[in-house]
């Protein structure tokens, strides 16, 4: 097996901040809570591409309710360390959300600028309800008042890769979350 390196460090040597077992347990717990909260309903889960794909896939496997899924892709302009808050929709939804219970499924809430834009944009489309589900929350970096309705883990202000989160489109496939120090 070939060793993989990033910034001169072996991937296997990077600190695991959340193990695959912890992720699996927490995603199952979140699915149980969402299933209870939406019992008798058919919510639409909107995955924010690309990072939330793995989380969304695992989450819906544990749900005990019927759901619909759709995807949205956005790009936030700015440099690599700070979002400008200017957001462009790269791929919009394929269906109307008017009158539906909607859950935005995100991989990580960081500054909150992009998610705040999505909440405002999707909210203007008249859903019956609109809530946010995130695997990770980094409140120390928040620039807007925004609290996810369902949160897997709160993490410190560190750059993480794995479980859908990438560095230059690499390392999404890692089963756990690892810290990539600068």
Q: Which of 133, 137, 136, 135 is nearest to 149 (CA)?
A: 133
Please list the active-site residues: 110
Residue with tokens 């944009």: 121
For 80, how many CA atoms within 13 A lie in the half-sphere containing its CB? 5
Q: CA torsion angle for 159, 78, 103, 32 (degrees, to 10)? A: 0
For 148, how many CA atoms within 13 A lie in the half-sphere containing its CB? 27
| Cα gap 23→64, rounded to integer Å | 19
SS (H, E, C) 12-59: HHCCEEECHHHHHHHHHHHHHHHHHHCCCCCCEEEEEECCCHHHHHHH
Find out whether 17 and 135 touch, Cβ atoms under 8 Å: no
């Amino acid at each position: 097996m070939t060793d993989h390196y990033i910034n001169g460090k072996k991937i296997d040597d990077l600190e695991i901040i959340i193990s695959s077992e912890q992720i699996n347990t927490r995603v199952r717990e979140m699915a149980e809570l969402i299933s209870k909260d939406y019992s008798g309903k058919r919510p639409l889960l909107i995955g924010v591409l690309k990072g939330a794909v793995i989380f969304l896939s695992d989450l819906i496997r544990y749900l005990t309710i019927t759901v619909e899924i759709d995807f949205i892709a956005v790009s936030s302009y700015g440099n690599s360390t700070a979002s400008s808050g200017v957001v462009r929709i790269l791929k919009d939804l394929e269906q109307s959300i008017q009158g539906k219970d909607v859950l935005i499924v995100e991989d990580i809430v960081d500054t909150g600028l992009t998610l705040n834009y999505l909440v405002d944009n999707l909210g203007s489309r008249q859903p019956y309800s609109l809530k946010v589900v995130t695997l990770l929350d980094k409140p120390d970096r928040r620039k807007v008042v925004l609290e996810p309705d369902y949160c897997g883990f709160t993490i410190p202000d560190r750059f993480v890769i794995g479980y859908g989160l990438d560095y230059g489109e690499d390392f999404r496939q890692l089963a756990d979350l690892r810290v990539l120090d600068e």
